[in-house]
Amino acid sequence: MPSAAGSGTPRVGVLSLQGDFACHRAALEALGVEAIRVSLPEHLEGLEAVVMPGGESTAMLRLCESTGLRGPLERFVRERPALGTCAGLILLARGADLLPASTLDVLDVDVARNAYGRQIDSFSEAIVWRDDAEPLDGVFIRAPRITRVGKGVEVVATRSSGEAVGVRAGFTVGLGFHPELTQDLRVHRWFLAEVVGLRVPAPPVRSRLGAGSERS
CB 113 within 8 A of CB 152: no
Active-site residue, from 43, 56, 86, 188: 86
CA distance 166 to 145: 10
- Nearest one of 163, 165, 115 to 139, comparing CA atoms: 165
Per residue, the 3-state secondary structure of 52-116, as one string, reads ECCCCHHHHHHHHHHCCCHHHHHHHHHHCCEEEECHHHHHHEEEECCCCCCCCCCEEEEEECCCC
Is 178 considered catalytic here?
A: yes
CA distance 59 to 152: 30
How much of the chain is helix, strand and coil, in % rounded to 5? 25, 30, 45
Count Cβ atoms within 10 A of the Cβ of residue 18 and give its class: 0-12 exposed, 13-18 middle, 19 or more buried: buried
Active-site residue, from 48, 178, 188, 214: 178
Active-site residue, from 43, 180, 188, 214: 180
Helix (H) or strand (E) holding 26: helix 21-30
Catalytic residues: 86, 178, 180
